[in-house]
Chains A and B, each alone.
Chain A
Amino acid sequence: MNYQKEEIKQGITLHNLHTENFKTNLYAVFLTIPLQRETTTLNALIGAVLRRGTQNLQTQEQISKQLEGMYGASFNCGIEKTGDNHVLKFYLETLSDEFLPEPENLTEKCISIILDIAFNPLTVNGTFKPEYVEGEKKNLKQIIESKIDNKAKYAYDRCIEEMFKNKPYGLYKFGYVEDLEKITPETLYKQYQQLIANCKIDIFCSGRINSKELSEQIKQNSNIKKLQERKPQYIVNNEKTEQKEDIEVNTVEESMQVTQGKLVIGLDIKDTQENSRYVASVYSAILGGGANSKLFQNVREKQSLAYTAGSSYLKPKSSIFIRCGIEIQNYKKALDTIKEQLEDMKNGKFSEEDLENAKKLIIASIDSITEEQDTEITYYYGQELSDRFVTVEDYKKYISEVTSKQVTELANKIQINTIYFLKD
C-alpha cells in the first residue's frame, strides 16, 4: 500500500501518500478544532491573516515571489466544515523534481514554507500585524456578504442553516459580520495561540517523495519542534454518533431576484447502525445520483420540471440533500414528484438495475480517489475524523454487498427535515 502514517508527536500526524502518477507533489497541513459560534469568525480570519506573511517571508509579495521562482508552486489556504469541526487547510503544490528544466530540491523548500505559514506568522509587539488584521477583516466581510452571489449554493447553505439551527453544523464556515467588528489583533492572536496549542494537526504529502527523508525533515523543522504535544479536541462524526430526533417538517421560503427557483430538501437518516453509511450512499445514488436516478428521470426528463435535479449524501452528518433548479410556478408539482420518489423508495419501487447502476456510479467514484492528489488526501483525512480506517478496496467491497432489502429498510428510516425554496 502506498499510504504511511506516523505520529510525530501526540496529536501531530504525518501522512505520506507515495504515487508516481503525477507531475506534481502536493503538501497539505490541516488544523482541526470543534466548530463553535464564538470562534467561527476568528478562525476564518486567522487563515486569511496567516497567508499575509511569516517571520521569514514578511509580505505576501515575498511569499509570491518565492513561489513563482519555484516554477509557479501554488499555495492555497481555506477554511472548511468537516462534520462538527472547523478545519484550516493549507496546500502547496509544486512540480516534482523530475520535471524541472534544471535540477533542484523543491521538497525541502516546500515543507519549510508551508510550515512557516501555518506556525510562524509575522508578529509585531507580540501580536499579529494590525494592518494585516484590518485588511483581512474587510476582505472577510465581503466574502461573508458574497454568500448571496451564487444562488444555488446560497439555497443549499440556507437549508443547512435551517436544518441545524443552534447546532455546530448550522454555522457558516466564514463566520458572521457582527462578530468581525469586535475582533482586534490581540483577541485574534490569542485565539491563534489557543488554536495551535489544542488543535489536531495533520500533515499530508503526496507524490514522489522519499518517506524517510520527509519524516526527518519534518521532525527537524524548527516550527514543528516548537509545538507541544496535545490531546487534540476534535469531534468524531460517523453514523453512530449522529442521533436524530422526530421533528415536524420545517418549510422555509425566501424571495430574491431570481428567474429560476432553487429547491433544497434536507433529509434525516435515522439509522445509527455501524456501516449503514454504505447503504445510505447507495440509497442516495438511486434517488438522485446521476442521469439514471429517480430524481433526474422523473423531475427533469419525464416532466421537464427542472434543469438540475439530484441528491447528495453528507456522510458525517447522516443527512441527504435534494437539490433542484426549477421554474418558480412548478414548485408544487416538483415537490409532489420528489415526495413520490421518496415514497417509492420506501416501498422498494426501484429495480435491481437501478441498484446496480447506483453501485457502479459509486464504485467509479471510489476508483477515482487515487487519480487526484487532493481527493486522496481528503479521503484519508475523512477517515481520521470518522475514526474509521477502510481501504479503498474494502470500501468498494462494502458498496457492492449492499442489497435492495437493506436500501428499502433504510428508506423507511429517512424523513424530510427541511424544505427550503428560493423564489422571486
Chain B
Amino acid sequence: MKIIESLKIKEKAYIEKLENGMTIIIVPKKNTKKKYIIWGTHFGSIDNRFIMPQTGEEVFIPDGVAHFLEHKMFEQPNGTNSLDTLMALGIDANAYTTNDHTAYLFECTDNFYEGLDELMDYVQHPYFTDENVEKEKGIIGQEINMYDDDPSWQLYMNALDCLYKENPIKIDIAGSIESISKITPDVLYKCYNTFYNPSNMTMVICGDFEPEQILQEIKNRLLPKENQGEIKRIYPPKENEKNKSEKVSKMEVSTPMFMIGYKDTQNNKENIIQKHIAIEILLNMIIGKSSNLYQQLYENGTLLSQPDLDYEFTDQYAHILISGFSKDPKLVKQKIDETIQKMQENGLDDEHFNRIKKKIYGDYVVEYNSVADISRMFLADSMKGINSFDYIEEFETVSKEYAEAVLKDIFKEENEAISIIEPNE
C-alpha cells in the first residue's frame, strides 16, 4: 500500500489500487468509536451520454437515472431492503447522488463487519424489476416535489441556468417527474454494468483500523470482475460565455435570497489546489466576516448574516457561488462588483491576506475532526483526482501575487450572473 502522510496534522492515509481497478483509501483514527465507510462510483447526474466499454454501444439516458439507481440498489430479491437490514444492526446507513458521483455509506460504533457484509453484498447485486421500478417512481416523485418547494434548491438551479447554456450540471439531480417516467430496468442495468465496475469505483474507510487487515477484509468480499478500463463519456462542448446575467423567481419566502455566480472558464487541472485555496482566501477577503464590505452591508441592514461562499468544480464545470439573504440583492451585487474592482486595481492588503490565510488553514484542519467528514472529503476529492492532504501541504505555497492573478482571471463581469428568489406579492 502507498502511504501518504500529513505531519502538520499527524494523520496518514493508506492507498491501494487493486488489479480490478478499484481504489481503496484507509485513514486510520486511533481511539475513535465511530467507524465510517463510503463506497463511491464516478457516476453522477451529469453523466447522461456514454459508450459502454463492453459493447461499444452509445447510450443516452433520461435525467435522474444516477439518483434513481441509488434508490433502487437497496432492494433485494428476497424482498428485504438493505437500508433496513443495516438500521436493524444499529448502523446509520445512507446513500447520496451528486453531479459527479454516487456514494453508499454507513457509520457505526458496533457491528462494523456485519455492516460491511451487507454493504458489499447489496452494491454488488442489483435487482431491478418492472414492478419495483414502477413503485420507486412514486417515492422519487415525492422527493422531486419536496425540492420544488425548497427555495435554496431553486435558487441554485437558477444560478446554474444563468451560468451555462448547455451543460449537464443544469440537470436536476433527481430528474423530473416526466424524465423518470421513462426509466426502465434495462436502462438501470446498462448504467449499473458500465459505472459500477470496480475500475470506476473508490472506497474510503476511516476509524480505528489496522490498514492491512481491513484491506484484506474488503478484498475477501469483492466479487471477481474484469477491469473494463475507462468509460468514454460524452459531454456537450465547453462554452466560454454565460447564458444570461440574471434570473428572478418568486416563491413563498420572507426575505429575498440571492446567489451570485462567477463562471470559471479557465477550468483546467493545473494548480487546482492552489487555485482553490486562493479562491477561498479571496472570497473571504471580499465579503468574509471581517471584510469592510460585510461590515458595511450588515450595519445598514442589507445583509443578515455572512453569505455562503463556494467554489464547485469538476472537469466539466467550475464556478464560484456567493449566496445569502438580503432585502436588496442588486445592491449586494453592485457593492461586491465595486469591491472586486478596487481590489483588482489596488492589489491585496498584506495583513488582511495573511490573516485570512491563517483562517483558511484552520478551516482545513477542522475537517479532520470527524470520521464522516474525512471519508467524504477523501472520496469527493479522489473523484477529482485530488489527494486531500495537499490542501494542508500546499497551503504555504499560495502567495499574495498568485491570489491577485486569480482575482483578475476569474472575477470578471462577463463571467458573472445573479439568481434571485423574491417573496410572493
Contacts and interface: CB of A to CB of B under 8 A. Distances in A.
Contacts of A300: 139
B32 A371 contact: yes
A304 B368 CA distance: 39
A187 interface: no
A257 B363 CA distance: 38
Given A23-B369, A135-B301, A353-B88, A69 B254 contact: no
Given A138-B301, A304-B139, A71 B370 contact: no
Nearest to A60: B295
Contacts of B32: 21, 371
A138 B88 CA distance: 48
Contacts of A371: 32-34, 370-371
B125 interface: no
Nearest to B148: A259
Interface string B297-332: 011010010000000000000000000010100000
Given A142-B304, A260-B142, A72 B110 contact: no
A275 interface: no
B355 A69 contact: yes
Q: Point out which of A22, A99, A135 has the most chain B C-beta atoms below 10 A from its C-beta.
A: A99
Contacts, number: 163
A146 interface: yes
Contact of A363 (B84, B90, B142, B299): B90
B44 interface: no
A192 to B, nearest CB: 21
A73 to B, nearest CB: 7
A353 B84 CA distance: 12
Question: How many A residues touch the partner, as a band?
Answer: 35 or more
B81 interface: yes
B299 A131 contact: yes
Given A68-B359, A139-B304, A304-B139, A145 B255 contact: yes
Given A95-B365, A99-B8, A291-B83, A68 B142 contact: no
Contacts of A93: 366
A48 to B, nearest CB: 11
A135 B363 contact: no
Interface in A295-334: 297, 300-301, 304, 306-307, 325-327
Contacts of B91: 364
Contacts of B403: none
Nearest to A75: B289
A61 interface: yes
Contacts of B363: 72
Contact of B254 (A145, A292, A306): A145
A260 B146 contact: yes
Contacts of A306: 142
Interface string A51-94: 00000000111001101111111000000000000000000011
A7 interface: no
Contacts of A223: none
A370 B299 contact: no
A70 B356 CA distance: 10
Contacts of B139: 300, 304, 307
Contacts of A70: 358, 362
Nearest to A328: B145
Contacts of B343: none
Contacts of A20: 31
A360 B362 contact: no
B337 interface: no
A371 to B, nearest CB: 5
A372 B292 CA distance: 34
Contact of B92 (A131, A145, A258, A364): A364
A71 B301 contact: no
Given A257-B251, A327-B142, 14 more contacts: A22-B369, A64-B288, A65-B355, A71-B361, A99-B365, A142-B254, A257-B424, A258-B252, A260-B146, A307-B145, A360-B110, A368-B109, A371-B34, A371-B371
Interface of B: 8-10, 31-34, 81, 83-84, 87-93, 108-110, 135, 138-139, 142-143, 145-146, 148-149, 151, 251-255, 288-290, 292, 295, 298-299, 301, 304, 325, 327, 355-356, 358-363, 365-366, 368-371, 424
18 contacts: A61-B290, A61-B292, A68-B290, A68-B355, A68-B359, A93-B366, A95-B366, A99-B8, A142-B325, A145-B254, A148-B253, A256-B252, A258-B149, A304-B142, A307-B142, A325-B146, A360-B89, A367-B34
